Amino acid sequence: MIILSCLFLKRLLKYTPYMVYRMKKIILALALIAMGLGLYSAFFIDHPILADHYTASFKGCDRDVLKDHQKLKFALIDSARSAGAKVYDLCETRVNEEGYAVVLLLEKSHASLRSLDEKGICVVDLLAFDQTLDCKLFDKNMRAYLKPEAVHKII
């Protein structure tokens, strides 16, 4: 639609500025209507849920646990596997001397972890496209390893 609009606008160059202004407003209105219809169908028409997305913020974690990045990485891998995921690859990095980040590439999904060592905070997520991963078991294993004082989670 954008390409057609651009081609249409090139033809408008031979028209008066007021006519071009009015036609741009019409094109914008049509684009907004199309976007609105797309949003309407996404939220109000009954579509099957394509994925489960588990996200949790763990606060008050043991700082010694968060500083041991190897164990933190293996805890994420173990939790993902216990939830039923097959791990294909991982990427990890130390972030600004204050934290650690690791992302697991799973079959049909991903899992990630981001920690702030000095603040005792760890955020994890698990995206499951195939609906066979057990997000609650993933949560249980991560809690057992991190031993947080408070948890805010969304499943």
pLDDT in tens, 43-63: 555 556 667 778 888 999 888
Indicate the Cα dihedral angle 56, 59, 65, 66, nearest 10°.
70
CATH superfamily of 52-154: S-adenosylmethionine decarboxylase (3.60.90.10)
pLDDT digits 0-9 by tens, 101-153: 888 888 878 888 888 888 888 888 888 776 778 888 988 999 999 988 888 87
CB 57 within 8 A of CB 143: no
CA distance 49 to 68: 37
Pairing status of strand 109-116 against strand 150-154: unpaired
**C-alpha to C-alpha distance for 121 and 28, rounded to whole angstroms:** 44
Judged by DSSP in three states, 80 sits in helix
The residues, any chain, with a CB within 8 Å of residue 135's CB and separated by 6 or more, are 52, 54, 83, 126, 128, 155
- Give the C-alpha separation, 109 to 87, whole Å: 9
Whole-model pTM?
A: 0.66
Are the C-beta atoms of 135 and 54 separated by less than 8 Å? yes
Domain ranges of the chain: 2-44, 52-154
Please tell me the distance from the alpha carbon of residue 128 to that of residue 131, in angstroms, as a whole number: 6
